[in-house]
Structure 1
Amino acid sequence: MNASVKNLPYPLRMTSSGFTLIELMVTIAVLAIIVSIAAPSISNQLANQRVSSTVSSIESALKEAKAESIILRTGISVVYDNTDNTMTLRDTGNNVISTYTLNDRSQVTVNVIPAGSDIIFQPNKIISNGVEATYSVCDIASTEETRKQVSVTKIANISTIVNGSC
């Protein structure tokens, strides 16, 4: 059987000719509406992910400093540099142990009590001079801002909480 389109009746040939321009435009309009609804949700999700990533890096740096102070049996200081958004761990000889680079789109605010003190983990599992610190992290580009905080107590307990907006 050699059936070709030319042998079909005229109404059957016209029904299988493809999409009309109107059908294509309606489909594109529906897709545009769906994307416009989903886009803000996706951008907020990405902002929350950036904040979570930064908080995780800060937490890792603090936990490493605590562990290294015990292993090396010396004080380990944690210094946050807001110009290049890094955290550096140094021993008492000012030797760099490690450096953590934080997300550039995250804004980190450090609140140290007493003000101007350094965070130095001691081998006896406490922070020198009874210093407490809070690292507040926000996303710069987020419209729906969520702040997370990493806290370090006098006895070197490290905890993370979600705390309001920036």
Structure 2
Amino acid sequence: MNASAKNLPHSLRMTSSGFTLIELMVTIAVLAIIVGIAAPSISTQLANQRVKSTAATLANALKEAKVESIIRRQNITVLYDTSNNSNKIVLHTGITSIPSTNIASYNVDKQSVITQKISPSTETSIAFQPNKKIVGGATVAYTICDSGSNSETPKQVKLTNIANVNTISAGSC
């Protein structure tokens, strides 16, 4: 007994091939429901990933500034530059806000927002000294948020007066 489609009459072969319009519509509707449920979760995950990436970039920039100040035996300043429609972290020599020699530049995602809280508030910028301390004995808390979403978990990069860098999940946007 051979049960192949070639042995069936022509009228039976034509009726059993393909999907009906109803089957396709039901399948598309089920897929649309699944995508509708998953989309908010995916956008939150993307926002969280941007925040984590920016926090890691900032922590690496601060650690590099600390090491460079020791190697070069001079003060290294860290600036968060938002001028010219760019988001970047710039390391340069000296302790002024006007860069004298740029050492490194780190690009940050345009949707990332970094707020800086320096204590004592008399300090306006962060400069690392070759003796592994911060100029003025300042402590800093950088809070990183995502401007595209309010549901992400903010990260904080904390810098102690002895230049230790810690990243934690804290703060508010």
Length-normalised TM-score, structure 2: 0.86
Stretch of structure 1 that moved more, 34-43 or 12-21: 12-21
Aligned partner of 2:18 in structure 1 is 18
Deviations 1:54-102 (A, max 9, x none): 1111011100000001111111111112333221111128211111111
The separation in 2 between residues aligned to 1:164 and 1:129, in whole angstroms, is 24
Aligned partner of 2:103 in structure 1 is 97
1:83-122 to structure 2, matched below 5 A, reads 83=83, 84-92=86-94, 94-117=100-123, 118-122=125-129
- Cα deviation for residue 157 of structure 1 reads 0.5
Give the counterpart of 1:125 among 132, 136, 151: 132
1:131-146 to structure 2, matched below 5 A, reads 131-146=138-153
Aligned residue type for 1:89: L
- Cα deviation for residue 12 of structure 1 reads 3.3
The separation in 2 between residues aligned to 1:101 and 1:80, in whole angstroms, is 10
Gaps of 5+ in 2: none
Q: Secondary structure at the match of 2:110?
A: coil
Runs of 4+ with deviation above 6 angstroms: none
The separation in 2 between residues aligned to 1:82 and 1:114, in whole angstroms, is 23
Q: Is the 8 A contact 2:141 2:156 kept in 1?
A: yes
Gaps of 5+ in 1: none
- Cα deviation for residue 17 of structure 1 reads 2.1
**Equivalenced residues, count:** 164
Root mean square deviation of aligned Cα: 2.1
Aligned residue type for 1:61: A
- Cα deviation for residue 124 of structure 1 reads 1.0
The separation in 2 between residues aligned to 1:4 and 1:123, in whole angstroms, is 83
- Cα deviation for residue 113 of structure 1 reads 1.4
